[in-house]
Amino acid sequence: MNRRDFLLTASAAALLPNVSRAMGQFDLFAEAVEAQILPTGEYSATRSFGFNGGLPGPEIRVQQGQRLDVLLHNKLDEGTAVHWHGIRLQNAMDGVPILTQDIVNPGSTHTYQFTPPDAGTFWYHSHYLSHEQVARGLMGPLIVEEANPPDLDHDITAILADWRLDEAGQLTDDFATMHDVAHAGRMGNFARAFLPDLLLKKGARIRLRMINAAADRVFPLTLTGLKGRIVAFDGMPLAQPREFETIELAPAQRVDVIADVEGTMEISMATRSGNYSLGQLATEGDVEPRSSEIPALPSNDVPRPGEVTQELTLAMQGGAMGGRHGGDNIWAFNDLSDLQSAPFGRFQRGETVRIRLVNDTSFPHGIHLHGHHFYEIQRGGSLGDLRDTSLVQAGETQDILCVFDNPGKWMLHCHMLSHQAGGMKTWVEVL
Ligand code: C2O
Ligand code: CU
């Protein structure tokens, strides 16, 4: 974070524009917007991209098992496409230009219809020139509600993102510069959480859904004013709620926390120059706190791994200090940059595959698989958390186990979107 430019904190929280309970067909307009990213009063609005007049886009809420029918209208001057991140949907609805659909041209529309199988915290974002379109604001939350939600006072979504802004509060258009792409990506000089406008009561029990919608930034998060547990990662409930002190959230990752309010809730991130406040919700009044434990969420019906039938290695390569790539293809997987005609893996439907994610580079990468969730394998070999994006630190290796049960062509890429733009992407095919 370049503290010289924006020393302020994000306490003047603007609101998520609206919550849309998707019934029947829902219109989603990708368009130019003016959004109050910086605190009101001190700075004017930022000209950017968004959905339905705002940034982030509307919070789309559906019930688990309820069909979502979205008509995307492209009102931008450039193409786009919308990906429903973390949803195990049919391949044709995945929103990836070239692989699963055509680019939605300016002035055209595209229909997305699917029934989310899993309850949890998901999001949607552009998957066309995403390193630029997501960084400009083409993203929003997609919440799939449990049939029997836990007993809570508030269900709160926090979208976390960062922006690179000039002195006038306008976005700089230095996307995918060689330097950013070859390093940790394009970091903003201002970061914040978008939170709803509400006051909390001390003693209330809340669910806080945090979504990292930043293009490249990993957020090392701390929460104050709350006492609770992590109940889900990437939309998938943990069998047991887990204690935490900090939460590291890679781009695209989500975390759900259920907690009791003890004071002003503050979301902050650790930086070299101290804690940086991303947003807060103040308290007014109090209620009798619950005596019950933080509940576990009901699990989603994800296939259990069977016998491993293929073992593959995905080696991340390149970048600054990586010493092998130059030109447009700064990053690679297994010596190949960009989408090749042959997939990285081809699987029969239902195969259990172990993939070793090897980070041979000097930077962390958040590796995302479309259309599936996978288990991270813990050091001792046991099944860890179910995720759709795995953060692999520089020099580290992470094994994952996935049941490839969803037929189609699925992207597998780094969700540091500048790295993806620099070639760090491939695909798999499930027959
Ligand atoms: Cu969040 Cu390939 O996407
Ligand atoms: Cu990366």
Q: What are 283-292's pLDDT values in tens digits? A: 999 999 999 9
Q: Is 379 exposed, middle or buried (0-12, 13-18, 19+ CB in 10 A)?
A: exposed
Is the CB of 370 within 6 Å of ligand 1? yes
In this structure, which residues have their CB less than 5 angstroms from ion ligand 2? 365, 414, 416, 419
Q: Looking at the predicted structure, is the pLDDT value of residue 3 above 90?
A: no
**Beta carbon of 127 within 6 Å of any ligand 1 atom:** yes
Q: Which of 389, 409, 418 lies closest to 94, judged by CA?
A: 409
**pLDDT for 327:** 58
pLDDT at 268 over 80: yes
Nearest CA to ligand 1 atom 3: 85
Q: How confident is the model at residue 321 (pLDDT cuts 50, 70, 90)?
A: confident
Contact 120, 85 (CB under 8 A): no
Higher pLDDT, 20 or 299: 299
Distance (angstroms) between ligand 2 centre and the Cα of 380 equals 26
Minimum-distance ligand to the CA of 417?
2
Residue of 25 and 128 predicted with greater confidence: 128
Residue 24, pLDDT > 50, answer yes
**Which ligand lies nearest to the CA atom of residue 95 in the structure?**
1
Q: Are 123 and 59 in contact (CB under 8 A)?
A: no
Q: Per-residue pLDDT tens for 105-120? A: 999 999 999 999 999 9
Give the phi and the psi of residue 177 in degrees, each rounded to 5.
Answer: -70, 150
Helix, coil or strand: residue 389: strand
Per-residue confidence (pLDDT) for residue 328, from 0 to 100: 63
Q: What is the pLDDT of residues 45-69, one digit of tens each?
A: 999 999 999 999 999 999 999 999 9
Q: Whose CA is nearest to atom 1 of ligand 1?
A: 85
Which pLDDT value is given to residue 322? Answer: 75
**Lowest pLDDT segment from 20-24, 235-239, 273-277, 394-398:** 20-24
Ligand lying closest to the C-alpha of residue 82: 1
Q: How far, in Å, from the CA of 359 to the mean position of ligand 2?
A: 9
pLDDT above 70 for 15: no
367: Cβ contacts below 8 Å, ≥ 6 apart: 314, 316, 357, 389, 390, 392, 412, 413, 414, 415
